[in-house]
Amino acid sequence: MRFHLVAAPVILAVFWALALVQSLDFQFPNFTDAARDQLILSNSYIAEKAIQVTPDSHGASMANRSGRVLYIRPFRLWSKEGKKASFNTTFVLNIKNMTPSSGEGLAFILTAYRDVPVGSEGQWLGIVNPTLNGSMEARTAAVEFDTRKSFPGDLDDNHIGLDVNSVYSRTSVSLNGSNIYISSGKDIKVVVRYDGENLTVFVGEDMDNPVLSEHLNLSSYLPEAVYVGFSGSTSNNTQLNCVKSWEFIGSEIEDSKLRWVWILAAAGSVLILLIITGIGAIFLHRKRGCKVDRLDDAYRNIDEAILRSSIAPRNYKFKELGKATGQTERDDYISNIVHRLWELYRRGTILEGADARLDGIFKKEEMERVLILGLACCHPNPNDRPSMKAVLEVLTGEAPPPDVPAERPVFMWPPKPPSFTEWDNSIIGDRLPPISELAGR
């Protein structure tokens, strides 16, 4: 249906915009095969309900290995406007030595790179290799759990450290004083907090006294978006480097400029929608709804204009729409989306309509507001769609979403009450089929 095709940019603009402002928020109480889809594993494995950052005893040789596991979606750390995100992450480590003395260590990392660097085994903990070490190119920050004194500057074989673009720690603290032994094979709970200014690490159950707290401006070293996860390594000395659970809660950066871009994009689409509805109605009124082909052409041209216009968000969905070979196919696609959304709304589960690619990473209230608004814009009766002002108010969060009937309303012709032109029922008559049928093929 044409309305849907026109309303689609509104919905898509909004999905696109939500993808820009989304925050990162996830939880792994344990790691099963299902977790694989959400992780980037680079020489790391899932086994025994845990991440084996370096191979466990069942696989290949455990010596001289490095590995890296990252959450699949990057985290937006800062914006060019000077805003900074904050995060809290909690994980449980279990490290057990497999040789008389342990080696080498495990680290929580924020990094620009998906893959574990070649040559990062041994003392490098999978964080950097000899070439990247000490260079701005390394673009990696880490909290290391080091189990081997592998070079003279290394504190001891049981310490944590804060590493920035290097495996040589800025600060390191022995855990001997806290009576925690990293490679003991016991579960160790760790909390890392970053508030945009200080990075703070708690180890064990004591949440009052951080083991390490350091002023750190991550924006100076890391790109705007980073992957978060773990790296680890072994040498001649080996250990099991397990992560048993992991939770991450990141704040979102609201980029006011981008926000306005998408609000304008959505508003522009609504404006076009209203104009087209007006044109369509006037056209029908004049031609008594008979010139189906010309109406069809008019709509198609406008569709294309929207798809081409610079105000329309050029994003993946349009590419997909473009791939659909025929107009009909494209219409059906969008029509199905709207029907599906309305059905979910009726059942009170509209959030299931959110794009699967967002992985559930969005503000639920915001997404719900936007989906309901999208439905309101798809109301078959143009006069029941929200005004531009109302749309803007909902998008900016000033007003709640409009009331939308639980059942998808039936199209009424003429729409009541007419607002943009004067109707003459005697001309249009009752036998006129709904516009959706006129416009369809």
Ligand X SMILES: *[C@@H]1O[C@H](CO)[C@@H](O)[C@H](O)[C@H]1NC(C)=O
Minimal distance in Å, beta carbon 233 to ligand X? 11
Q: Is 217 in the site for ligand X (CB under 6 A)?
A: yes
Residue 351 interacts with ligand X (CB under 6 A): yes or no: no
- Of the pair 31, 227, the CB lying nearest ligand X is at 31
Stretch that binds ligand X, among 111-119, 130-138, 352-360, 382-390 (CB under 6 A): 130-138
Q: Report the residue number, 44 or 133, with the smaller CB distance to ligand X.
A: 133
Q: How far apart are CA 376 and CA 402, in angstroms?
A: 7
215 binds ligand X (CB under 6 A): yes
- Helical (H) or strand (E) element with 18: helix 2-21
What gap in Å lies between CA 237 and CA 234, rounded to an integer? 6
**Between residues 120 and 277, which has the closer beta carbon with respect to ligand X?**
120
Q: How far apart are CA 241 and CA 239, in angstroms?
A: 6
User: Binder to ligand X among 79, 86, 99, 309 (CB under 6 A)?
Assistant: 86
- Binds ligand X by CB under 6 A, chosen from 171, 178, 184, 219: 219
Helix H or strand E encompassing 346: helix 327-346
For residue 417, is the peptide bond before it cis, meaning its omega torsion is within 30 degrees of 0? yes
79 belongs to the binding site for ligand X (CB under 6 A): no
Pick the stretch among 103-111, 129-137, 223-231, 398-406 that binds ligand X (CB under 6 A).
Answer: 129-137
Nearer to ligand X, 95 or 267 (CB): 95
387 binds ligand X (CB under 6 A): no
Q: The tokens of 239 are what?
A: 């250990």
- Tell me the number of residues near ligand X by CB under 6 A: 30
Cβ atoms 100, 119 nearer than 8 A: no
Residues 26-55 touching ligand X, rule: CB under 6 A, are 29-30
Phi, psi for 20 (deg, rounded to 5): -75, -30
* Residue among 33 and 293 whose Cβ is closer to ligand X: 33
Which residue among 38, 57, 236, 256 contacts ligand X (CB under 6 A)?
236
Nearer to ligand X, 195 or 329 (CB): 195
| Binding piece for ligand X, criterion CB under 6 A, among 68-76, 217-225, 315-323, 431-439 | 217-225
User: Least distance (Å) from ligand X to the CB of residue 88?
Assistant: 4
Q: How many residues are recorded in the chain?
A: 441
Q: Which stretch binds ligand X (CB under 6 A): 214-222, 338-346, 358-366, 404-412?
A: 214-222
Q: Minimum CB separation from ligand X for residue 131, in Å?
A: 9
Point out which span in 149-157, 333-341, 346-354, 418-426 binds ligand X (CB under 6 A): 149-157
CB of 282 to ligand X, least distance (A): 52
Give, as ranges, the residues between 88 and 107 that touch ligand X (CB under 6 A): 88
The region that residue 352 occupies, defined by phi over 0 for left and psi between -120 and 50 for alpha, beta otherwise, is alpha
**Tokens 């709509």 found at:** 299
Based on the number of CB atoms within 10 Å of its own CB, is 261 exposed (0-12), middle (13-18) or buried (19 or more)?
middle
158 scored as a contact of ligand X (CB under 6 A): yes
**Of 19, 20, 47, 64, the one binding ligand X by CB under 6 A:** 64
From CA 392, how far away is CA 401, in angstroms rounded? 11
**In angstroms, rounded to a whole number, what is the distance separating the alpha carbons of residues 436 and 74?**
42
Cross-strand pairs, 226: 75
Tell which residue, 303, 307, 262, has the closest CA to residue 16: 262
Separation CA 259–CA 257 (nearest Å): 5
Q: Which is nearer to ligand X, 142 or 306 (CB)?
A: 142
Residue 190, strand partner residues: 91, 203
Closer Cβ to ligand X, 220 or 426, answer by number: 220
Distance CA 382, CA 395 (A): 19
Residues 6+ positions from 379 with CB-CB distance below 8 Å: 385, 404, 409
Pick between residue 29 and residue 360 the one whose CB is nearest to ligand X.
Answer: 29
User: Whole-number minimum distance, CB 123 to ligand X, in Å?
Assistant: 8
Residues between 187 and 206 that touch ligand X (CB under 6 A): 193, 195, 197-198
What one-character-per-residue DSSP string does 289-327 give?
T--HHHHHHHHHHHHHHHHHSTTS---HHHHHHHHS-SH
User: Could you say whether residue 137 binds ligand X (CB under 6 A)?
Assistant: no
Residues of this chain that interact with ligand X (CB under 6 A) are 29-30, 63-64, 86-88, 122, 130, 133-134, 155-158, 166, 168, 174, 176, 193, 195, 197-198, 215, 217, 219-220, 236, 249, 251
